Amino acid sequence: MHLTYKHTKYACYAGYITQAIINNLAPLLFIIFQTQYGLNFEMVGRLILINFGTQILADLIAVKFADRFGYRVSAVLAHVFSAAGLVLLGVLPQISPSPYAGLIVAVVTYALGGGLLEVLVSPIVESLPGDKKASDMSLLHSFYCWGQMGVVLISTLILTAFGTDIWMWLPIGWAVLPFLNMFFFAKVPLVPPVPEEKLMSVKDLCKNRLFLLMLVVMLCAGASELTMSQWSSLFAETGLGVSKTLGDLLGPCLFAALMGTGRLLYGLYGSRLNLKNCLLFCGSLCILCYLTTVFAPHPLLSLVGCAVCGFSVSLMWPGAFSDTAARFPMGGTAMFGMMAVFGDLGASLGPWMSGVVSDLSQNTGFLQNLQATTGGELSQLGLKAGLLAGVIFPLVLVVSIGYLKKKRV
């Protein structure tokens, strides 16, 4: 079979689906982990922090070595870590003296794969022939959403049909995709990276104020997306009092569907639109969605706010990538790596900060008095407080993009 750049795109799409599995499978199991292993909100949030913290480490490693050793070796290695970590997620908590320690080892392993994928897949697609780079990037990132949606739907159906006692088989089953895509990436044609000596160094990039501002935008994009996405299932179940099946379907699943729809639409029609205006609209809508999710008087309206938030964040991550790549065409893997570092930094700090605020706020007199007044569960009020803290990230993003637009840069 003759493989072309079309097949390279297919391998990259599967790579982003793999990353969706890595980032979204474990949060579906948070309730199970809390029940079986006695984890509190902070310990659950710490798993998210460890996942994206490790991805940041992998991003930094990739910045240093991907251009030197080539995309193919690095991409295959990323899939090896991803598949191994997912298998360990199903095995280690069952056999380790400390199930939580087993979870951490598994998370670190697959997060190394996820971090490498984040740095490698976007520049691979960016390097392919074509003149619609922003649209191609948005279409690529839409497959993360379809992967997230597939993980939620299929995993929820399996847990509903067979019970939560078989949860450990889910990550083992999902490990098949990165295992197979590893062989695909070993064969597809790749455009050789630009020689290192012709690229901007990390030092040169970090001296540029515009690039530093784009890093802030990327951090806020990661935090805005993942704070709502990672906590949506648990928020729907404990914060809104709906069943796990309904919470997973109306929370993270609908979130992913609308996020994928937004990225697909921009992939099809983005060449006709102004990217900065789209980012301003998305950021403003995201703020509204966070506030609606927290303050809506009815659980259904909160779920709507959570779901529409998926559409609002759809362009943030790929839009920041595309805008930065257009401004710094010789940025190379170092540029994509730095963007991924700050995106993952936001994706780790946002959900973790939300978990910390959720735990701490439950000990405040304000929430305790509010509970006494409304009769609601203290844990539900704490989760809402945690999500409310997350609104700072889309707010900063809107201010940053507004500054770029005002300065016309």
Q: Which residue has the tokens 């598994």?
A: 106
pLDDT single digits (tens) 142-189: 898 899 889 888 998 898 899 888 999 999 999 999 999 999 999 999
| Percent of the residues in the chain that have a pLDDT greater than 90, as a whole number | 34
CA dist 331 → 124, 317, 385 (Å): 13, 17, 39
Nearest alpha-carbon partner for 254 in 266, 270, 242: 242
How much is the average pLDDT of 105-131?
88
- Cα–Cα dist 215/329, whole Å: 16
Span 5-407: which CATH code?
Answer: 1.20.1250.20
The more confidently predicted of residues 274 and 398 is 398
Nearest alpha-carbon partner for 340 in 140, 91, 67, 54: 54
- Cα–Cα dist 365/381, whole Å: 12
The more confidently predicted of residues 91 and 238 is 91
Return the minimum-mean-pLDDT range out of 46-50, 72-76, 82-86, 193-197.
Answer: 193-197
| DSSP state, residue 273 | S
Q: How many residues does the chain have?
A: 409
**Contact assessment for residue 118 and residue 19, using Cβ atoms and an 8 Å cutoff:** yes
**Contact assessment for residue 16 and residue 144, using Cβ atoms and an 8 Å cutoff:** yes
- Answer whether residue 241 shows pLDDT above 70: no
The more confidently predicted of residues 133 and 117 is 117
Return the minimum-mean-pLDDT range out of 91-100, 214-223, 224-233.
Answer: 224-233
Residue 97's identity, in one-letter code, is: P
Please, what sign has the CA dihedral across residues 294, 296, 300, 304?
Answer: negative
How much is the average pLDDT of 84-103?
93
- Cα–Cα dist 398/286, whole Å: 10
The per-residue pLDDT for 56 is 84
How much is the average pLDDT of 6-28?
91
The per-residue pLDDT for 197 is 63
Q: What tokens were used for 181?
A: 């895509």
- Cα–Cα dist 337/58, whole Å: 9
- Answer whether residue 216 shows pLDDT above 90: yes
Q: What tokens were used for 87?
A: 């298998």
- Answer whether residue 214 shows pLDDT above 90: yes
* Segments making up each domain of the chain, as ranges: 5-407
**Contact assessment for residue 250 and residue 242, using Cβ atoms and an 8 Å cutoff:** yes
Q: What tokens were used for 253?
A: 């699943």
Torsion of CA 30, 34, 36, 39, to 10 degrees: 120
Q: What tokens were used for 329?
A: 């065409």
- Answer whether residue 207 shows pLDDT above 80: yes
Residue 384 backbone phi and psi in degrees, to 5: -65, -40
- Cα–Cα dist 272/269, whole Å: 6
* Average per-residue pLDDT for the chain: 85
CA dist 66 → 124, 306, 350 (Å): 11, 37, 28
